[in-house]
Amino acid sequence: MTDPISSESVPAKGPLIAGRILSGLVILFLLFDAGLKLVSPETAIRYSPPGLGWPLDVSTMTLLGTLLLIPTLLYIWPRTAILGAILITAYLGGAVATHVRIHSPLFSHILFGVYLGVMLWGGLWLRDPRVRALIPLSKGAIQ
C-alpha cells in the first residue's frame, strides 16, 4: 500500500511560500480580531455594526474573542491546522449568517467571511500535503 502523502506531494518552494504568506495574513487578521475582543472589549463594542442581534457587552465580546482565539492557535500549529481551519470555518459561517439575517451589503459584509475562509483553506492547501490529498484540484488526481 502506498502512502498518499509521499515526498512527491511536498509543495514546491513557490507554493509553500505563497501558502505561508496567505495563511499568515489570515492569522494576523484573526489574532487582531480575537485580541481586540479580549484585551479591549469596549473598543470592539464601540466599532461593532449596529443591529447584529448580539448583546453588545463585555462578556459576549470576551466569549467571541475566546471562541476565535482557540481555533486560530490550533490553525497556527501544523499538527492541528486542519482542525483549526474547520473550527474557524464554523465561526466564519456564523458571521456570514449574522450578516445575512440583518441584510448587510453582500460583497463587503456578507461575503467577507467567505473571502477569509477561501484564504484560510487556500493557504492551508498550498502548504499542507494532507489537505491536497483530501482536496485534489488537478484533473489527473480526480478519477
Q: What is the pTM of this model?
A: 0.88
pLDDT of residue 87: 98
Q: What is the spatial distance between Cα 79 and Cα 77, in angstroms, rounded to a whole number?
A: 6
8 A C-beta contact, residue 78 and residue 128: yes
CA distances from 115 to 1, 41, 49, 84, 112 (A): 38, 25, 19, 17, 5
pLDDT < 50 positions in the chain: 1-2, 7, 142-143
Sequence-distant (6+) residues with CB within 8 A of 24 are 123
Neighbours of 26 (CB within 10 A): 23
State in Å, rounded, how far the first CA of the chain is from the last one. Answer: 18
DSSP 11: P
Neighbours of 132 (CB within 10 A): 21
User: One-letter amino acid identity for 122?
Assistant: G
Q: Which alpha helices (H) appear in the chain, and where do they start and end?
A: 13-39, 41-46, 58-76, 81-101, 112-127, 129-134
Q: What is the spatial distance between Cα 112 and Cα 122, in angstroms, rounded to a whole number?
A: 15
8 A C-beta contact, residue 102 and residue 53: yes
